[in-house]
Amino acid sequence: MTDTPIHQVTLRLPEPLYLQVKQLARRRQISINRLAQEGLESIAQQSLVREMRAAYDALASETEESDVEVYFAAQSEVVADDPA
């Protein structure tokens, strides 16, 4: 177990969806709770990937504002002084 707080939620599913979910959980040999967690984790991860992709695309479209070459010298100094 982790020390992460757990929050309980209630889902209201129409009967046909509930039966599909119940059958899917049974086939995967996991609880409906775990199936819901995995689904929500997947949705959250996909959302984060889309947001990051949009941010990178925005940087690429604004080349003057995203010029990183000016930072190469400073980065080299940090890497050269890194004791690790």
> What residue numbers bound the domain in which 46 lies?
14-52
Q: Is residue 46 part of a domain?
A: yes
Residue 65 in any domain: the answer is: no
Query: Could you give the CA distance from residue 63 to residue 56 in angstroms, rounded to a whole number?
Result: 11
Mind listing the pLDDT tens digit for each residue in 56-68? Answer: 887 777 666 656 6
Least confident of 14-18, 61-65, 74-78: 61-65
How far, in Å, CA of 42 to CA of 29, rounded? 19
Q: Total structural domains in the chain?
A: 1
3-class secondary structure, 44: helix
Reply yes or no on whether the pLDDT at 1 is more than 60.
no
Q: Which residue has the higher pLDDT, 43 or 66?
A: 43
Residues 67 and 56: beta-carbon distance below 8 Å: no
Residue 21 lies inside a defined structural domain of this protein: yes
Residue indicated by tokens 């709770």 = 33
- Model confidence band, residue 37 (pLDDT cutoffs 50, 70, 90): very high
Alpha carbon distance 69, 66 (integer Å): 9
Question: Whole-prediction pTM value?
Answer: 0.62
